[in-house]
């Protein structure tokens, strides 16, 4: 009897998770984030092979900085969601290098005070399809078209040099969330993809609290990691976000 009850409970749980999503009205959602961002590492060599490889976190000093990002999503009745994300960030750094620095065609002598700025702006259009959606569980997968607008600038009292990189990056999108209390959800979502030339991962782990059907809040951790390794540029960074967020449904 114990085995039969266990089988029945397991079957009931599976039925709940695999229940087809309900048809709901079309809905627009505004998703705003702010908080603190800091880098675990940020290494660059420009151009690769002839430039000097250095760290914006170890060779120079980079502090914690505030960030802001926003997403607007439109969910059609059923399983389809389209969203637009605007995410801009800028991380300044400063210090002195114990070695000469060759960067983007400019030369910076050792021991000179330097200022640097790492800018990484991202604009993303995403389509996601809900594989499952019910009162307790939701999971979806999709694709993201990302425009990356990045730039590293190094400045001394006598010289300024910068390297800008703007381009298109295709990514895979995913989202899983689970309702563990009537007003609380745990969510994992992000964009990620790897290639021989580089990789990109932007993943959020957060807890959502819904004060009402149309107003929610989140607290979590986001990691943005990746970079490029091509002839003109070598740059890989690991960025950490402490996230506070707001959801508003319309």
CATH number at residue 10: 2.40.160
- Within a domain: 128: yes
Contact 241, 225 (CB under 8 A): no
Dig out the tokens for 145 from the structure. 């078209």
- Within a domain: 97: no
pLDDT of residue 6: 42
Does 215 score more than 60 pLDDT? yes
Name the pLDDT band for 77 (thresholds 50, 70, 90). confident
pLDDT of residue 25: 59
- Within a domain: 96: no
pTM above 0.95, yes or no: no
- Within a domain: 113: no
- Within a domain: 161: no
- Within a domain: 139: yes
> How many structural domains comprise the chain?
1
Q: What is the domain range of residue 183?
A: 2-88+123-143+170-249
pLDDT in tens, 220-235: 999 999 999 999 999 9
pLDDT in tens, 109-121: 999 999 999 999 9
- Within a domain: 159: no
Contact 144, 164 (CB under 8 A): no
- Within a domain: 82: yes
Does 33 score more than 50 pLDDT? yes
CB count within 10 Å of CB 121 equals 15
DSSP state, residue 14: H
Dig out the tokens for 165 from the structure. 């990189």
């Amino acid at each position: 009897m114990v085995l039969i009850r266990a089988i029945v409970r397991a079957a009931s749980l599976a039925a709940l998770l695999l229940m087809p999503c309900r048809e709901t009205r079309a809905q627009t959602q505004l998703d705003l984030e702010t908080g603190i961002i800091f880098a675990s590492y940020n290494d660059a060599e420009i151009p690769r092979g002839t430039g000097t490889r250095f760290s914006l976190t170890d060779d120079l000093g980079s502090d914690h900085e505030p960030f802001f990002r926003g997403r607007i999503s439109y969910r059609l009745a059923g399983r389809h969601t389209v969203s637009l994300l605007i995410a801009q960030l800028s991380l300044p750094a400063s210090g002195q290098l114990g070695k000469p620095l060759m960067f983007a065609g400019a030369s910076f002598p050792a021991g000179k005070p330097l200022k640097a700025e790492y800018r990484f702006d991202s604009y993303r259009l995403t389509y996601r399809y809900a594989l499952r959606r019910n009162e307790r569980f939701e999971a979806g997968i999709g694709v993201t078209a990302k425009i990356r607008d990045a730039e590293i600038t190094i400045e001394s009292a006598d010289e300024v040099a910068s390297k800008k990189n703007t381009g298109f990056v295709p990514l895979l999108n995913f989202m899983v969330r689970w309702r563990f209390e009537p007003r609380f959800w745990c969510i994992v979502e992000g964009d990620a993809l790897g290639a021989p030339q580089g990789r990109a991962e932007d993943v959020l782990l957060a807890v959502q609290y819904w004060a009402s059907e149309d107003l929610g809040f989140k607290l979590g951790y986001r990691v943005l990691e990746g970079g490029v390794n091509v002839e003109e540029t070598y740059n890989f960074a690991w960025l950490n976000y402490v996230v506070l967020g707001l959801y508003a449904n319309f």
